Amino acid sequence: MVLALLWAQADTAALVDIVLLLGLITLAIGLFAQVNTLAAWLMVPYWLWVALALALNATILRLNRTYK
């Protein structure tokens, strides 16, 4: 029972972690754009990759909660 509770919290913690990471990447892109536009554009694929990870994580979390 305790392991199940920890596992459920780990899923939510991972989602929060990815949201924070995406926010920090967005901030970095904005700061990079002030210095060098190319550097900012080179961060966009990373932002897209993390956004995809966020979408997948959120979908898996939603589907898992549906079946509990």
Per residue in 38-60, pLDDT tens? 999 999 999 999 999 999 999 98
Q: Determine the pLDDT at residue 4.
A: 57
Domain boundaries of the chain, sorted by first residue: 11-66
Give CA–CA dist 11/29, Å, rounded: 27
Q: Does 25 score more than 90 pLDDT?
A: yes
Q: What is the mean pLDDT of the chain?
A: 87
Q: Give how far Cα 13 sits from Cα of 35, 47, 59, 66, Å.
A: 33, 19, 14, 18
DSSP state of 64: H
Residue 67 has pLDDT above 70, yes or no: no
